[in-house]
Amino acid sequence: MAIPGRSHDGLTFVDDAVQRGVAAVISDRPVAANVPLIVVRDARAALAVAAAWWEGDPAEELIAIGVTGTDGKTTTSTFLSTALTAAGLRTGLISTAISRVGGVERAAAAHQTTPEAPDLQRALREMVEAGDEAAVVESTSHGLQLERVGAINFASAIYTTFSPDHLDFHATLDEYRAAKAKLVARTVGSAASRARQLPRVVVVHASDPAVQPFADAAEAAGLQVARFDAYSDHEVLINGVKAELHLSMPGRINAANAAAALTLVAAWGLPLPAAIAAVEAEVGPPGRSQLIDGTQPFRVIVDFAHTGPSLTASVAVARELCAPAGRLLLVTGAAGERDPGRRAAVGRAATGADLVWIADEDPRGEDPDHIAEAIRAAFLAAAPRAGSSLEILHDRAAAIRAAIGAAQPGDVVLLAGKGHERTIERHGVDEAWDEAAAARSVLSSLGYSPKL
């Protein structure tokens, strides 16, 4: 498959591929090759179709649900896999942080969003062979725009939130919105979902006007629209009905994610009490509101929050966990070679903390000082809390040591931006990293031990 990429063009590797024994070349442009050549209109769309064919169209044997949105996709996807399985529909999961196949959970590849079509279709085939009946597929804007999910007929879809992001890739907000809207177009149902007579449902946030265009598109396409909301960390709206949840994961944002998952369960008429019980017990994916429990007299939280809205929500959760006189200590940053608008948004969100350390997240090929100064400028311009402070400390391990070392009883330390990711990308090199392990190491060095 000769596909034009961000840095390289697949056509330049045709000769090498032929020498390695490929049987044919598929491309969206003519090329000289000593093997059969198939020229297509869209190489990425053709890759999705070819990958599905290669694996025997596994999505037609599964009830596939796509979960998208700017924030909350991974947690919502995890809740949904848990909820549907508890409701009697054994459900696999493909997400940014973890996957579940046949009830076995494993970590996702480093910096993986929606996998490329061949990997995705292979995972779906594994689910079928492992006895899964349904599959939750976290569908990022990249995955939708680049047709990684192009050959999947989704039975239903969930939209968590929508706010500006990934504008380094989509160029404009309208393009980003159009990429997200592709999920509605793909919600046409599979053979498996039709056999179960499950209605095609698009689940949206009831109080987020930014997702209303997706609801309008769904209704125009003849799909059912179901709505969720969260009024507090335990009062939620599930498919239009108010309910109470008592989650293991803290915060209103996670209550909203759980409500989104449970809304689909309810809209499909599956047993809701069993689903609620399972979701309440779910500890969530790694790196999402992850508590680092230990004997220390303060809390440490690892969270993937790396956009302005997600960091604002994460800061709010952490603030709720502070003692009345406790402080919020924050380690955060922003990625290089990504939407520069994130930096200002992160800086503004960081004003909700008392002490802030700006550390390297994934500088890639950019100057870390340039990234950090953009965050600092936005922080200072946004009227930070009285008595607050901000320090730039590029070494992330050192920043975590500083934050945890400064914590006092009743404080909360929030480590935001890396979450589950196992590398820090710097000048083309992936440096090994584990945020939770780094936090535990610092706590151990200070004499604290894990809770038994």
pLDDT in tens, 289-327: 899 999 999 999 999 888 898 899 899 989 999 999 999
Q: Global pTM?
A: 0.86
pLDDT for res 362: 92
Q: In this predicted structure, what is the pLDDT of residue 167?
A: 53
Could you read off the pLDDT of 225-240 as tens digits, one per residue? 999 999 999 999 999 9
Q: Do the first three CATH levels of 56-281 and 290-445 match, i.e. the same topology?
A: no
Q: Give mean pLDDT, residues 160-185.
A: 79
Identify the band that residue 383 occupies on the pLDDT scale cut at 50, 70 and 90: confident
- Model pLDDT, residue 162: 86
pLDDT band at 108 (very low <50, low <70, confident <90, very high): confident
Q: Each residue of 407-422: pLDDT tens digit?
A: 999 999 999 999 888 8
- What are the structural domain ranges in the chain? 10-41, 56-281, 290-445
**165 versus 44: which is more confidently predicted?**
44
What's the pLDDT score for residue 240? 93
Greatest Cα pair distance, the chain, in angstroms, is 73
Flag whether pLDDT at 110 surpasses 60.
no
Question: Does residue 165 have a pLDDT over 70?
Answer: no
CA 116 to chain centroid: 16
Where does the pLDDT of residue 169 fall: very low under 50, low under 70, confident under 90, or very high at 90 and above?
A: low
Cβ atoms of residues 112 and 119 within 8 Å:
no
What fold characterizes domain 290-445? Protein-Tyrosine Phosphatase; Chain A (3.90.190)
133-156 pLDDT per residue, tens: 999 999 988 888 889 999 999 999
Residue with the two structure tokens 């409500």: 259
Residue type, 6: R
Q: pLDDT band at 16, cuts 50/70/90?
A: very high
pLDDT digits 0-9 by tens, 242-279: 999 999 998 899 999 999 999 999 999 999 999 999 99
Whether 452 shows a pLDDT value over 70: the answer reads no
Note the CATH number of domain 56-281. Answer: 3.40.1190.10
